[in-house]
Amino acid sequence: MNEILETLRTNSPKIAVLGDSILDAYYVGFLRETQESIFIPQKRYYHLGGAGNVAYSIRRLGGTPLFYTVLGVRANSKTFHGLLTNKKLLSSFCLTEETRDISLKTRLVADNRILLRLDEDYDAPISADTSNRLYSHFRYNMDDIRCVVVSDYQKGCIGQDLFERIKKICLARNIRLLVDSKSSWDFSGIFLYKPTVAELEKLLGRQLAGIDETIEYGMRFKQEQGIENMVITLDANGLIYLDDSDMAYPISSVCKAPVDPTGAGDSMMAAMAVCLANGIPMDAAVRFANEVAAISCERMGTIAVSLDMLEKRVQG
């Protein structure tokens, strides 16, 4: 761990992140129990969610993210835009569509516990013109890019055609492509695919009973798709790493006291991307990312884990 942290503090490789922006909102307050439960909010705060969280997490882990997304002009998009500006992630790669907005996920929190999540989804696809512009920005800014992350939450930013174009140019330039997607695309040739077990079950059209069956069908999917590496996340049960030699490694979660899993998958993807961009082997990157996800789960809110947080964890 110390060697990895030293490497991440020394280098700041460029990593492209493309995907859906989601605004995470938290209302913190208390419950008043009468004939009905009444939630009394005391404060409200916002976090970058979705691909925005991946990009910010890469920044916090020492990388240099180039963030490609599409926002709108309504309230949620304006709040997200402000967060990007505040965290120095905003660039000309963040496009705007006048008729568009982004999804909002609101959590009600009391006693350091999430009581309820309210989802206001916006999943209309971006226009063909906007998709072309997003790809053009990406294509002409690939100098020194060490790896590319696609974060697809099926909120309309990344369509199948755009993904195919991204994949094609990454393969042509021998740039590692890391994909976290809820869509059923052709993943052949990509370096890493990171589904949750629920997402994998949906793709397979069947439920998976336990670790052994998840490994069996995950490996079959990996081989049929022609994916180099897969990381299947299992929520509180950790993950399964399927490597490029078709070996399977179940890895337990190291989360000590789970509080809020929001954004843990984004943190994991960001950690693997930063490690790989620094030349760290995949197996070490996976174990490092497992530690990063654990820190995220142990804190309330959509947390972008920093190198300082990791150093404190190592020091005990």
Q: How confident is the model at residue 302 (pLDDT cuts 50, 70, 90)?
A: confident
Per-residue pLDDT averaged across 83-93, rounded? 92
pLDDT above 90 (res 316): no
Domain tally, the chain: 1
The reported pLDDT for the residue numbered 34 is 83
Beta strands (DSSP E) in the chain are 14-19, 21-33, 37-50, 64-71, 94-96, 103-110, 113-120, 145-152, 176-181, 192-193, 229-233, 239-242, 248-251
Q: How confident is the model at residue 159 (pLDDT cuts 50, 70, 90)?
A: very high
Alpha carbons 310 and 295: distance in angstroms, whole number? 8
Per-residue pLDDT averaged across 108-137, rounded? 96
pLDDT above 90 (res 235): no
- Do residues 48 and 80 make contact, with C-beta atoms less than 8 angstroms apart? yes
pLDDT above 80 (res 259): yes
Sequence-distant (6+) residues with CB within 8 A of 243 are 229, 249, 282, 283
Percent of the chain scoring above 70 in pLDDT: 100
Structure tokens at 223: 């081989």
Angle between helices 282-297 and 264-277 (to 10 degrees): 150
The reported pLDDT for the residue numbered 315 is 85
The reported pLDDT for the residue numbered 296 is 93
pLDDT above 90 (res 33): no
Which range marks the domain in which residue 195 is found?
2-30+38-315
Per-residue pLDDT averaged across 247-275, rounded? 93
The reported pLDDT for the residue numbered 262 is 87
pLDDT above 90 (res 245): yes
- Do residues 262 and 305 make contact, with C-beta atoms less than 8 angstroms apart? no
Percent of the chain scoring above 90 in pLDDT: 89
Alpha carbons 90 and 223: distance in angstroms, whole number? 38
- Taking the mean position of all CA atoms in its chain, how far away is CA 146? 17
pTM score, two decimals?
Answer: 0.95
Structure tokens at 221: 């999917």
The domain that holds 107 is classified in CATH as 3.40.1190.20
Torsional sign, CA 201, 293, 147, 66? positive
